[in-house]
Chains A and B, each alone.
Chain A
Amino acid sequence: MSTQTIPMPIAADSPSSSAAPPDSTAPLKPASLPGLFPGVALLFGIGLLGKLLQNATTILRTRYHLPVPHIEYVVWAIILGLIVSNFLGVARIFRPGIATYELWLKLGIVLVGARFLLQDVLHIGGLSLLLVAVELALSLSVMTLLGRIFRLPPKLTSLLAIGSSICGVTAIMAAQGAIDSDEEDTSTAIAAILTLGAIALVTFPAIGHSLHMGQQAYGMWAGLAVDNTAESVATGALYGQDAGRWTILAKTARSSFIGFVVLGYAVYWASKGKAAHVKNKPLFLWQKFPKFILGFLAISILATAGFFTQGQLNSISSLSQWAFLPAFAGVGLRTNMRDLVDQGWRPLAVGILGEVFIAIVTLGLVFWSYNHGVAR
């Protein structure tokens, strides 16, 4: 069975050190199960604390009538993760376990399939595929143009275009080997995408509220415009539970394009003699396809076929939220504000301009879909 490489969280051993300590550059050994425990415990600990804080503020507001704002556990988990990562620092012992946030995220997405009837998946998922196709064509073109204007290295431009048009870090990691890019370009592109994801967590809900967007429309927009899957799901959940699940549907539709886009870039760079030729294209597409989507579809099909009672569907849905709890903590833990200044201004400028363009285009597409009755 193939192994999977999970991007490690960007966290310093010490919050006071401006440069990475020498031993932090040493490759991490393959994780053993006991080695994962401290980081997994930290993920769940932060997530649970976020849930407790949400409950505490609810009690203060309803029982004691104190003017405390309602803050969702999603926000608490991300904020607590950010505080730990940026001010306290994450010790090396926690890192392997923190990297499992991706497993919890994908498990949550698989389980949330129970909340969708297959006809919704086909209708909204199909609409998402159509919107993604438009978004892809425009965003890849604009990012390539911006990369040229800002004189970025061509392969860095390719990585930024792939990351911002499909699914962030996963797409960049998938493209790294296919287009034979430098480790440095890959790191810069990942840092830019994660920084932009952190910005989206703050800006998207504010824009959604100011435009009085409905849960489904906002969820579609967040799924189509926010790059990295974890940040996208969190951005949707910040707006509401319903928005969160529609975000997941749009995001999974978008992620399903990853193989085609990476293959396109691999063929392009191979034609220039700067990457290896792809010999078996169908196998390449299958290898790059995000297979957890199949689990999401399987649960959705079972739910539609009446395999579960309503109570059981509610339980599966609750389990998905428990799985998202450590995933959202992971979003905060691997976001390091130092990356804002460390990566240089050009990749970030290209990323911001490109993302603003993508956000406006996808917002327009979503509004058009709802105003013309295409979405329901």
Chain B
Amino acid sequence: MSMTIEERIREEALFGRLPLLKEEREYSTRGIISTGFTYAVAAWCFLIGGYSANVVGAVQGIVTLVCGCTIGVIMSAAASALACNRYGLEQIDYTKSCYGQRGARLILLFYIINQIGWTGMILVMFGKGVTNVALGLGFDGGENLVRMCVLAGLIVGYWVINKGVHVLNVFNSIVFPGLLIVTGFLYWAIFKSADWATICAQPPIAPQDPGLNYILSFEYGLGAGFSWWPGIGFLTRNTDTQRNSLYPQVLTMGFGMGVVCCTGLLAGLVFRSYDPTVWMIKVGGPLFGVLSLLLVAIANVSASAMMMYTAALALRHVGMFRALPWGKLTLLGFIPVMAYVVTPSKLYDGGSAFLAYNATMFAPISAVLLVDYFWLRRGRINVSQVFEDDPAGHYWFWNGFNLPALFCAFFGMGLYIWLLNPVTYEAHGPVRWLTASGPATILPMLLYALLASLFLVGKKGGYGETVEALPLRKSNL
């Protein structure tokens, strides 16, 4: 049965780009906390904890994961959460006020890389889980079984997002309580296997440079926190107050996620493997281990579908994809993930680099957004100009690009990679004292404040101009 215009418009507001009105917001405090935990308690937490177990012990790992996740979420969420909540805007639409109408599409690229990377990672985790279960039953499927599972996960994910969001909600209603039980069970099983003193005495599994291990673990925590940047606007535009757009995210996706990541850390240290698909069977034994893995497998497929859903929505910002039917648009997002079907283990083993790379991408992007929204715009943007594609629009800047903002963001990314290359772990400069994310956040902030005062304020970008709605010349919706 085809939908009426009103129904299509309502759907466009909820899952598309129309600003969401106050009376349409669905999340009060309780709603956003439970949704936030549903997102936060995800299978990748076990993997992130495992990466930390590679480089640090229990106490340092707990501190770096919990604090890193919390700080990362605050830095990535503060500007986006408040703006998306106040104006009911989707994340990339809000980003246009800072990076420009076309510049925001460059940011969109990092958004899509984040979604595709995590989707691939957790689908390989799903494949590895199935392979290990099969191995326990006497069948060695090897790399090909992993490939088949990744492909199967992609097909199921594609089916789910084409069936609609309600199917995802059904998945999540099973997955979230299940993962909560698994987390509780894992903590119990870990402390049954070893007491606190024994856990603390465990050395890291595969330490790198002695002066760098602690920083690496902190960067993993920060990377996990910054990884939420693409998802923040999707959630917070649907919250009912400014407080509910910020605090619950810090509590759930920051602190809560950090605590769940510690399961992976402690289990990794005790059972001497960073890979949850290996240690889960050791922790839970043949029955509970396999059950836990199966639940994680379902969670992974569900989470990958959710990420590909938001990635497909984000692709609508690109003019050439805007008119594509939903089925084709979602298919487009799945194509790059096929790399994980071709070389699953190689990409999975490089997961810690991808995790740190999230901080590389989103720390400077968030830093510039913070200065732009709080300092330069005093927490106000002109919503009509977000949808204005005419060169006379406020957010057109230079041919659609806010060059100082983009320069500062890319400068921050380059600085991060120079300080700490997330792939080779090559370190330079004061990274051992200041971390890589710290300078890659602070310096772009200061530089952007300076460049904006020289080239933007009073000249371009609508700084200090009216925030009242102006008539649209050329809509970009």
Partners in one complex: no
